[in-house]
Amino acid sequence: MIHVYAASAGAGRHMGAVVSGLIGAVIAAALVALADRGQKPAQAIIEGWRMLRPGWLLNFATAGSAGMAALFGYIFLFVGSSRPDADIQTPYAVILILAFGMAAIYVAWTSYGRTIMWKGNELRVRTSLGREMVCRISDIRSVTKSEMLGEYRLTFHDGSTLRLSAYFHGVKELVARLPKRARQD
């Protein structure tokens, strides 16, 4: 009888994890839908240039990922685990710290590590490291949108690419200005 109870208790914990995962997925989908609907127009700056800006979802993703990396790092360095399987948990903690840390760095760099502006037929991308790329919008060969990654990928005639978050304020305006022959909506 005890064996049956233990097996059903384990199944209940597994089912609770599945339900929690599904609830998390529904919440994430709702947040993405709200972020897409809440986009604002591009910010107009000096001399008619329009600039893309990160939206609240990108800010939340950056802060949330950095916060989770810091939390797991704190637990790993200062709290530890008193469970008997603590030595098995250590690699998982390191993986979580690295994954959340890299996610925070990636989202921060794509959101704040570069400035993307356009005016007329000119597209300008400046990085925080001082590099600048200036190209013509008419040189864009294709535009593809990845719903899974939440980004647009612009491919130019010379083969270079530019990835833009679909959650930048103003990205819809920019995509609407791109050559219709290039868009694959």
The number of beta carbons lying within 10 Å of the beta carbon of residue 132 is 10
Could you read off the pLDDT of 22-80 as tens digits, one per residue? Answer: 676 666 666 666 655 556 666 666 778 989 999 888 999 999 999 999 999 998 888 87
pLDDT for residue 2: 44
**In the prediction, which pLDDT does 42 show?**
65
Pairing of strands 161-165, 168-169: unpaired
pLDDT of residue 66: 96
* pLDDT over 90, % of the chain: 40
pLDDT band at 182 (very low <50, low <70, confident <90, very high): low
How does pLDDT run across 128-157, given as a tens digit for each residue? 888 998 999 999 999 999 888 889 999 999
Q: pLDDT tens across 150-176, in order?
A: 899 999 999 999 999 998 999 989 998
Burial of 78 (0-12, 13-18, 19+ CB in 10 A): exposed
| Global pTM exceeds 0.75 | no
Long-range contacts of 20-25 (CB under 8 A, 24+ apart): none
Over 80: is that where the pLDDT of 126 sits?
Answer: yes
